[in-house]
Amino acid sequence: MGIILKEKVQGPAVWKGKELLQDDSWIYYWSKDAIASLENALRHVQEKGLKAPDFIKEDFPIPDLANEIAYFVEELENGRGFLLLRGLPVEQYTDEQASIIYYGLGLHMGTPVTQNAKGDLLGHVKNIGENKTKSVRVYETNEHLPYHTDLSDVVGLFSLRKAKSGGLSSLASAMTLYNEVLEKYPEYLGILYRPYLMDHLGDGGPDFTPIFSYHDGKLSSRYMRGYIESATEKAGTPLSKVETEAFDVVDSILHDENIRLDMMLEPGDIQFANNYMVWHSRTLFEDYDEVERRRHLLRLWLKMPNSRKLAPDFPGRNGIPKREKIADSVNA
């Protein structure tokens, strides 16, 4: 266990959802010129006969958006820790064209890392079946997805289509949560710095992670309660009573409607969030019967050029290692 930060976190990363709902300063609206620049880069990729994710940054030239990219990157690491980019006319694009624009934008912001043992750099978040078999992951169903973080500096979601109903995206500031624990439940603080065994549910691991880590002047977080509980139970060392209490406190704060920020990702919306500063969740949703109308989001995990240094005991930012051979049955 490293240094425990015993002072409240300060700065724009400390926010409450209720306050952000009063303005839209956290939403970036694409201008006509910016959209034209992205579409010009799309044509450049298509003229080369390339598809996502099989092209490089130079294949997707957007020099006119250098200032916007710099703003996105800075806001994710040193601002609120998340962005909502709105206004892309996604209804005018095929899914393949949308994926090229999204992946190309991601290449200019950071380096995509693998999201599973298959080595996928561009993920698809959609309902492909009920979570009754070990081959279906929760993000591939319509079920509620509890608050968590991913194994990368930044996670991005691009909405191609939304559900018939439900499917709200929820964000919560881990820095605000930390301040709440420090002020109201300080007895649990040390418990959240302990390293916990974490399962990757068939995609490698397990390894260890603390919930909070303070290193080189920055507080970082990682929260995957379900994965921790799965790993500790498999190892025969389930969470103790006090550890469970600490996690329950965390969850109670996360679900406070004043703390969390709920939003509907409309078609064309792109959401980016810093995994060390912001935790994300999704509500249950009802999908359309027609497969082509069902909720579909594209996902990126990015390694960022300006990201913080991480403590040695804090698992890294390089995604999930690709494996050459993958078992037929993968735990969900």
Q: What is the pLDDT of residue 125?
A: 86
Q: Is the pLDDT of residue 326 over 70?
A: no
Checking if the pLDDT of 321 tops 90, the result is no
| Cα separation, 140 vs 137, whole angstroms | 5
3-state secondary structure of 288: coil
Q: Over the stretch 267-301, which tens digit does the pLDDT of each residue have?
A: 999 999 999 999 999 887 576 677 778 889 999 99
Res. 67: pLDDT tops 50: yes
Containing H/E element for 301?
strand 296-303
**Integer Cα distance of 71 and 258 in angstroms:** 27
Confidence (pLDDT) at 109: 98
Per-residue pLDDT at 62: 98
Q: What's the pLDDT at 207?
A: 81
Q: Show Cβ contacts of residue 109 under 8 Å, excluding neighbours closer than 6 positions.
A: 69, 72, 73, 154, 272, 302, 304
SS3 88: coil
Q: What count of Cα atoms within 13 Å lies in the side-chain half-sphere of residue 234?
A: 16
pLDDT grade for 332, boundaries at 50, 70 and 90 = very low
223-238 pLDDT, tens digit per residue, is 999 989 989 999 999 9
pLDDT, tens only, 175-186: 999 999 999 999
Higher pLDDT, 140 or 96: 96
pLDDT of residue 330: 39
pLDDT tens digits for range 34-53: 999 999 999 999 999 999 99
Amino acid at 276: Y
State yes or no: pLDDT of 331 exceeds 80.
no
Residue 129's φ and ψ, nearest 5 degrees, are 165, 165
Number of Cβ within a 10 Å radius of residue 38? 20
Buried b (16+ CB within 10 A) or exposed e, 284-297: ebebeeeeeebbbb
Residue 205's pLDDT band (cuts 50, 70, 90): low
Q: Compute the distance between CA of residue 21 and CA of residue 257 in angstroms, rounded to an integer.
A: 11
Is the bond into 53 cis (omega within 30 degrees of 0)?
A: yes
pLDDT averaged over the chain? 89
pLDDT tens-digit profile of 123-170?
998 876 554 444 444 445 556 678 999 999 999 999 999 877 667 899
Would you state the pLDDT for residue 83?
Answer: 97
pTM assigned to the model: 0.91
Interatomic CA distance for residues 93 and 139, integer angstroms: 24
* Rounded mean pLDDT, 237-258: 96
pLDDT at 280: 95
Give a three-class secondary structure readout of 176-232.
Answer: HHHHHHHHHCHHHCHHHHCCEEECCCCCCCCEEECCEEEECCEEEECCCHHHHHHHH
